Amino acid sequence: MVTIYERKPANERKPGLSRREVLKRGGVGALLVISGSAVISPEHAWGLETSALKPETMATLIQMARDIYPHDQVPDKYYAIAVKAHDEQAGKDPTHKDLIENGIAELDLKSGKNGYTGLGWEEQRVAVLREIEDTPFFQAVRGGLVVGLYNQKEVWPIFGYEGESYSKGGYMARGFDDIEWL
């Protein structure tokens, strides 16, 4: 269930997105619905079931992933796939679960009353991330994203990467030394 609240003075507002906020944020990362043990994007028809971490934690991890490695052309579902590894690892390792859940709680605390996902501007969220960038929590999330996001073959065409070259004859015969652009 998504509730859109009517406009009230800032000190009286309830958490959530107003119609104005939904329109300002546009299509990229605009709306994630938390339902039971799932995070759902009704606009883009994908969902992510959680098993060890809270769905709210996963929603925050998805937003955090988008803020750490921002690519407007990459849909949220690929960020969700990238952070899903933390949910899987948390199911196997209670210390990892504590690291992630406590890290998100600290991130929300540093972000103010509405938490990290309640910050409306990317600049505000990045400023909070800069405060925690030396913590083991941030390093675990960032390190997992490097592999989790960029090793997805589905995102390679978005970046213009064709994949490994060995199976296609290597780079020698495929224009590695093509400098016509000079």
Q: Residue 150 — pLDDT band, cuts 50, 70, 90? A: very high
Least confident range of 41-50, 72-81, 121-130, 141-150: 41-50
Predicted pLDDT of residue 161: 83
Q: What percent of the chain has pLDDT over 90?
A: 54
Q: What is the 3-state secondary structure (H, E, C) of the chain?
A: CCCCCCCCCHHHCCCCCCHHHHHHHCCCCCCCEEECCEEEECCCCEEEECCCCCHHHHHHHHHHHHHHCCCCCCCHHHHHHHHHHHHHHHHHCHHHHHHHHHHHHHHHHHHCCCCHHHCCCHHHHHHHHHHHCCCHHHHHHHHHHHHHHHCCCCCHHHHCCCCCCHHHCCCCCCCCCCCCCC
Q: Residue 120 — pLDDT band, cuts 50, 70, 90? A: confident
Rounded alpha-carbon distances, angstroms, from residue 133 to 69, 123, 139:
13, 15, 7
Predicted pLDDT of residue 178: 65
Predicted pLDDT of residue 52: 86
pLDDT higher than threshold 60 for residue 141: yes
Using the Cα atoms of residue 102, residue 108, residue 109 and residue 113 in order, give the sign of their dihedral. negative
Q: What is the pLDDT of residues 32-91, one digit of tens each?
A: 766 666 676 666 556 778 888 998 999 999 999 999 999 999 998 999 999 999 999 999
Mean pLDDT of the chain: 80
| Cβ pair 149, 78 in contact under 8 A | yes
